[in-house]
Amino acid sequence: MTPRPLTIINGRLVLPEGAPQPGALRCENGRIVALGAIAPQPDDEVFDARGALIAPGLVDLGVFAVDKPAFHFGGITRAALMPDQGPPLDHPARVRFAAQSGKPDMWIHPLAAATRALEGAEMAEIALMRDAGARAVATGRRWIGDSGVMLRLLSYCAMLDMVVVTHAEDAGITGSAVATAGEMATRLGLPSAPAQAEALAVARDIALAELTGARIHFRQVTTARSLDLVRAAKAQGLRVTAGVTPAHFMLSDLEIIDFRTFCRMSPPLRCDADRRAVIAAIADGTIDVIASGHDPRGPEDKRLPFVDAEPGMAGAETLLSLTLTLVRDGHIDLARAFALLAANPARLLKVRAGVLETDAEADIAIIDAERPWVVDSDRMAASAGNTPFDRRPVEGRVNALFKGGKRID
């Protein structure tokens, strides 16, 4: 049964450019058909936004678990699933199953494993996985250390015009490190690696991307030196994009002072100068995507000594509100925030979503950008509440969410 057309009235439209504009938005057959100074048609279902923002649903690029309650809480209507699953997404049947796992109220876009079993040695059947629904290719949690394998991968993906999502840390340098080398790691006696391990990985992959003409996306770029390399690559016209999670623009390695395992990340938290460099890169356009890195981990993974704990955070529920802190602090405007959270990741995945314009998919979030709330790891919708932002007061909540013009309960 075809749902009734929907018109959302009395809101402020978050458009690709400029400040939010008062107006309404109309959806029909799962797509946006009109927006601006419009009125509902006689048979339309009408939703009153009551002055809240009418924004595109978030497109979360690189989650490690399908966690619909957390996604819906955070205003996420599409998520790109990392291939690090059990078993890995290195086979067309697994990709096809993952692509169906969230429908109809959540669309999962699987990222195909770049290599078999994500071992970094033998290239997986990427074209078959693309045909099964993979929207991009990913190296997973690890960097491909073999430059020959990475060269072949980028050459093949350039031919297929698929973006390669890569993790940027030279494993030969990081080894078993759990922290960034510096005063804090020394004080705590933690195994650490220099921040340059990231820059070395970024530099090599940029060189190979230049050689092959491939599209490459660095899922997390967290150091000033790496960001300079990305900035220079973009100036050359290379097809390079970069992302980050809120942890690396909100937190520094000072957060691990009490061996807080909820602050155990991969890559690890950096010094405050790098944190500020990330904010500057978000502001100047060097960083293209802010993603949650959603990786819910239970007590069996986190209630351990810092060295033994697994990295990762439950990030879906806080992604929007933490990004809005950059707006309140004057670093970016709302249009730029939703480009980072929705439009840019949608473009990388080649999906017609993430933006409010006619004929785009009607994935809509109604957001009260000033609504205060307190992050509580014990009460999160996620399957586990391992957030480094526990007890932090934030602003910005989703009042209602629509997928394909149909409200998600």
C-alpha torsion angle, residues 390, 391, 397, 401 (rounded to 10): 40
pLDDT tens for 319-347 read 999 999 999 999 999 999 999 999 999 99
What amino acid is encoded at 55 in this protein? A
According to CATH, the topology of domain 58-353+371-393 is: TIM Barrel (3.20.20)
pLDDT tens for 14-65 read 999 999 999 999 999 999 999 999 999 999 999 999 999 999 999 999 999 9
pLDDT tens for 166-225 read 999 999 999 999 999 999 999 999 999 999 999 999 999 999 999 999 999 999 999 999
| Whether pLDDT at 98 is above 80 | yes
| Whether pLDDT at 360 is above 70 | yes
d(CA 127, CA 262): 37
Across 103-193, the runs of DSSP E, i.e. the strands, are 107-113, 136-138, 164-166, 179-180, 192-193
Q: Left if phi > 0, otherwise alpha if psi is -120 to 50, otherwise beta: which for 293?
A: left
Class of residue 407 by CB neighbours under 10 A (exposed 0-12, middle 13-18, buried 19+): middle
**How many degrees, rounded to 5, is the angle at CA 318 between CA 315 and CA 324?**
130
pLDDT confidence bin for 246, thresholds 50/70/90: very high
Report the range of poorest mean pLDDT among 103-107, 136-140, 293-297, 380-384.
380-384
CB burial of 91-114 (b: ≥16 within 10 Å; e: otherwise) equals bbebbbebbeebeebbbbbbbbbb
| Whether pLDDT at 3 is above 80 | no
Residue 300 CB contacts under 8 Å (≥ 6 apart), including other chains: none
pLDDT reported for residue 118: 97
Strands 53-56 and 6-13: parallel
pLDDT reported for residue 1: 61
pLDDT tens for 171-186 read 999 999 999 999 999 9
- Other CB atoms within 10 Å distance of the CB of residue 348: 22
pLDDT confidence bin for 122, thresholds 50/70/90: very high
pLDDT reported for residue 142: 94
Adjacency order of strands within the sheet including 164-166: 58-63, 76-81, 107-113, 136-138, 164-166, 216-218, 240-244, 289-290
d(CA 76, CA 290): 13
pLDDT reported for residue 381: 83
C-alpha torsion angle, residues 303, 306, 310, 313 (rounded to 10): 80
Tokens of 366: 């109604």
Whole-number average pLDDT of the chain: 96
